[in-house]
Amino acid sequence: MYLVGNDIVDLQHPDNQNKASNIRLLKKILTPLEILTVQQAANPNTMLWLLWSCKEAAYKVAIKMGIQPFNDATQISIDFNNTNNLLYCGTAVVKNIQCFTKTILSNNYAYSIASKQPCIFNKIQGTIINIKSCKNNTIKTQLLQHIAKIYNININNLSIQKNANTQIPFIQYKKQPLLQFDISFTHDGKWAAYIYYLH
Amino acid sequence: MNKEQIQEKVITILKKYTRQPEVWATANNTSKIITDLKINSARIVDITLDFEDTFDIAIDNPDMDRIITIENAVEVIIELLNK
């Protein structure tokens, strides 16, 4: 089973500004090595949220693998092994679970996807939308429309449910889970995104 | 400071980070901060820092992990205030 996770951070949102200079905050969410990476970055605030989005995307994969939910993000470590200005590929270790991450950086957002198997990155489908410009068409509706089109089925028979205990989302068709899809959603500020992997 | 006063301050802090105010209509002590109050997970650390400043306590990462619900937050703060 290939599991996927994603996370987006709105880099322009007021809640996400000027956080990298707050050492108390950094110590609560980053490992010592990651703090050094942030402090040495050309744009420390962007690096902070880039690391955070990797952690969150990897955390979603680890939760799907059965680890218990936790808040302490220092238990997730990120190591970038291939970077350029706009694309960061890395390895995440969530407690004892290793995942791989891929992050796209723009002026507006840091967007990460994660999986245990980096070989599936090219097969992960998804999209990012600006919520403000798509008010009548939420990210979840867009995913359902997409799936309805793939299978040529009525969208009214599709829904997105969440496991009551784990909060992991899944797609339902005529009240039955569509197990061949693994999905993940994220939103922050004016950005939202979905991904899915079709087994 | 009694439990009710602590809870009131906790709720005031949480409301500052709620992007969907309507969730408070059905909130109770057992409401989960991220899933029920719809607070972005990135704000948990801001909330923790606000708790530290408001109650003059230090919340370490294992204690932060225990804060899942409103009730948990109040319990952790009371424990730290009594240390």
- A73 touching chain B per CB within 8 A: yes
Interface predicted TM-score (ipTM): 0.90
Question: Is the pTM of the predicted complex or chain greater than 0.95?
Answer: no
- Rounded to 5 degrees, what angle do the CA atoms A21, A55, B41 make? 75
Average pLDDT, consecutive stretches of 10 residues, N- to C-terminus, chain A (199 residues): 94 96 97 97 96 98 93 96 88 96 96 95 94 79 92 93 87 88 93 92
CA dist A6 and A8 (Å) reads: 7
- A23 touching chain B per CB within 8 A: no
Chain B residues with CB-CB distance to A15 below 8 A: 17, 40, 42-43, 46
Best of A11, A38, A59, A72 to mutate (most B CBs within 10 Å, chain B): A72
- A30 touching chain B per CB within 8 A: no
> Cβ separation of A71 and B62 shorter than 8 Å?
no
Whether the per-residue pLDDT at B83 is higher than 90: the answer is no
> Cβ separation of A25 and B42 shorter than 8 Å?
no
Contacts of A116 (CB under 8 A, 6+ apart): A2, A3, A61, A65, A97, A98, A99, A100
The rounded mean pLDDT for chain B is: 95
pLDDT of residue A63: 94
pLDDT of residue B8: 97
Chain B residues with CB-CB distance to A72 below 8 A: 61-62, 64-65
pLDDT of residue A166: 81
Residue A135 burial (10 A CB sphere; 0-12, 13-18, 19+): exposed
- A151 touching chain B per CB within 8 A: no
> In angstroms, how far is the first alpha carbon of chain A from the final one?
8
> Cβ separation of B64 and A69 shorter than 8 Å?
no
- Encode burial over A22-48: b for 16+ CB neighbours within 10 A, e otherwise: eeebbebbbbeebbebbeeeeebbbbb
- B57 touching chain A per CB within 8 A: no
pLDDT of residue A83: 81
Q: Which amino acid is at B36?
A: D
Whether the per-residue pLDDT at B72 is higher than 90: the answer is yes
pLDDT of residue B9: 97
Closest partner residue to A28 among B41, B43, B61, by Cβ?
B61
CA dist B57 and A58 (Å) reads: 31
Tens-place pLDDT, residues B12-41: 999 999 988 999 999 999 999 998 999 999
> Which parts of A37-124 are beta strand (E)?
76-83, 87-94, 97-105, 109-115
Asked whether A20 and A75 are in contact (CB, 8 A), the reply is no
Record the tokens describing residue B27, joined without a space: 């909130």
Chain A residues with CB-CB distance to B67 below 8 A: 71
Residue for token digits 């990155």? A121
Helix (H, G, I), strand (E, B) or coil at A2: coil
